[in-house]
Amino acid sequence: MSNDWILTAQCPSRLGTIDVVTRFLKESRCYVNEISSFNDAPAERFFIRVAFQPDKTLTFDKDRFTESFATRAKEFDMTFELSSSAERMKTVILVSKADHCLNDLLYRYRTGQLALDVKAIVSNHPDLEPLARWHDIPYHYLPVTPKTKATQEAQIRAVIDDTDADLIVLARYMQVLSPQLCDALNGRAINIHHSLLPGFKGARPYHQAYEKGVKLVGATAHYINNDLDEGPIIAQGVESVDHAYFPEDLVNKGRDIECLTLARAIQYHTEKRVFLHAQKTVILSK
């Protein structure tokens, strides 16, 4: 709901963690539309997400609400974030030549299916500039070579900083980011890649998979980190295939799954359903 507010919080596992949140919302005359929580017993860590609607007869003051709740949360050593569901997340998309994920994201952005405010598209190739222009989105062509990588990444960071982006999406951006850039984008950069069992590395992975007769094709969306394609996982998709799928069919199937999986991960992120927890994530989905 567009007039919902979303409260996310986490704290050590203690008696009364749900009560401190819901009681405060009741006292503040806020109606709970959705609530989900998870207690990681081995780690003794508690997570909660609440979507609520303030009383329409009152003027909701975000700063006053935050200040008042902070007093209650302090007793539980609780960290929290309050955000409006009406806000669209400022986003920069990184892409290379493959256009399937970018096309899908821009369609969902244009039709309002994803709460994004796409500020810029960055690419190391010029190929997709017409698509960006059609959507009236600035396109930054930043070619890169091993010798110019540091300079090019500095240019990427400048685009991110200038747009004040909260989310960076690697929509099939076929460059390995440096550890420095990974650290700078920690927790706000989402990548998508194919997932095959067994894992096929190198060129033409779907052709390798065909030669082995794979029966499953999938994709993984995750936050980036310094371990290539091994960051905390947000969403995964998988579908069955069989001997009738030739390499081109596997590629097409993989593209479809990548689009859906990336969109799902972005939706979880923009709806504040994702908690980073050690080397993994907690997803409080519906």
Name the token pair of 40: 């990681």
**At 91, which helix (H) or strand (E)?**
strand 89-95
Give the span between the Cα atoms of 106 and 99, in whole angstroms.
10
Instruction: For residue 9, give the nearest of 107, 103, 75 by alpha carbon.
Output: 75
* Catalytic residue (one of 117, 229, 249, 256): 229
Q: What letters, b where the CB count within 10 A reaches 16 and e where it falls short, cover 36-53?
A: ebbebeeeebbbbbbbbb
Backbone angles phi, psi at 210, to 5 degrees: -60, -40
Neighbours of 213 (CB within 10 A): 10
Half-sphere exposure in the Cβ direction for 2 (13 Å, CA): 5
**At 194, which helix (H) or strand (E)?**
strand 189-196
Instruction: For residue 272, give the nearest of 50, 22, 13 by alpha carbon.
Output: 50
Give the span between the Cα atoms of 174 and 14, in whole angstroms.
44
Instruction: Give catalytic status of residue 166 as yes or no.
Output: no
Give the span between the Cα atoms of 254 and 259, in whole angstroms.
9
- In 3-state terms the chain splits into helix, strand, coil percentages (rounded to 5) of 35, 30, 35
Q: Does residue 168 sit in helix, strand or coil?
A: strand
As a dihedral over the C-alpha atoms of residue 162, residue 192, residue 258, residue 137, rounded to 10 degrees, the angle is 10
Q: Which sequence positions are flagged as catalytic?
A: 229
